[in-house]
Amino acid sequence: MSMAETGKTATDVNVLVLVGSLRAESVNRQIADVAVANAPEGVALTIHEGLDQVPFYNEDIDVEPVPAAAAALRDAAAAADAVLAVTPENNGTVPAVLKNAIDWLSRPYGNSPIKGKPVAAIGAALGRYGGTWAHDDARKSFGIAGGTPVEAISLSVSTKQFDGKHPAEHAEFVGQVRGAVQSLAEEVGAALVAK
């Protein structure tokens, strides 16, 4: 279903981007930057800064006042129409920083800030599968947390593909990232119709 058929235009779509790597020169951070710079017209992507400041999830501290970094993450997710995780793979699964963010976004139980919102996971990893396991696990965790995983969005690449260059220097890859963002934006319209 197209965005036009739902009455929601692409100019209305806000996507929260969560980067699963804290390293300053992370390839996945570069991919997130590519997504922001090449978003389809009217689709706004915002990379959430400060995931390294979010404390490990613990119900004992998930009380008022909620830790500021966790509250900021929840507020950003509540304001977004969709969530895009751009993440590497650590030891065959989701990096702790991203899993922790998902744990905070899973609460309050039954009324999480990502409830019913389209979520997708893309990115790159050193291995030949390009982070596929982490992306699968991220979609699973987001779904359990209340989001609506978009299984059709799949972009897992080996970092070796970039030959040491910035991902932005690979036109075909930039097009794939743009296509993933476009598909996620279209899911926002489909989610609105389903309500």
Full set of structural domains in the chain with CATH: 13-188 (3.40.50.360)
Going from the C-alpha of 188 to that of each of 10, 72, 132, 150, 158, the distances in angstroms are 9, 22, 24, 10, 28
Q: Which is it for the CA torsion 36, 38, 39, 42, positive or negative?
A: positive
Tokens (6 digits) for 186: 């279209």
Does the pLDDT value for residue 7 go beyond 90?
Answer: no
Going from the C-alpha of 174 to that of each of 36, 169, 180, the distances in angstroms are 11, 8, 10
- Radius of gyration from C-alpha coordinates of the chain: 16
Decide: 156 and 180 in contact? Cβ < 8 Å.
Answer: no
pLDDT one-digit tens code per residue, 75-104 = 999 999 999 999 999 999 999 999 999 999
Tokens (6 digits) for 96: 């702790």
**Continuous segment of H or E residues that includes residue 43:** none
CA-to-CA distance for 24 and 86, rounded, in angstroms? 14
Query: H helices within the chain, ranges in order?
Result: 3-6, 27-37, 68-79, 96-105, 132-144, 171-194
pLDDT one-digit tens code per residue, 15-68 = 999 999 999 999 999 999 999 999 999 899 999 999 999 999 999 999 999 999
What is the pTM for the complete model shown?
A: 0.92
Does the pLDDT value for residue 2 go beyond 80?
Answer: no
pLDDT one-digit tens code per residue, 141-172 = 999 999 999 999 999 999 999 999 999 999 99
Which is nearest to 86 in space by CA: 130, 54, 42? 130
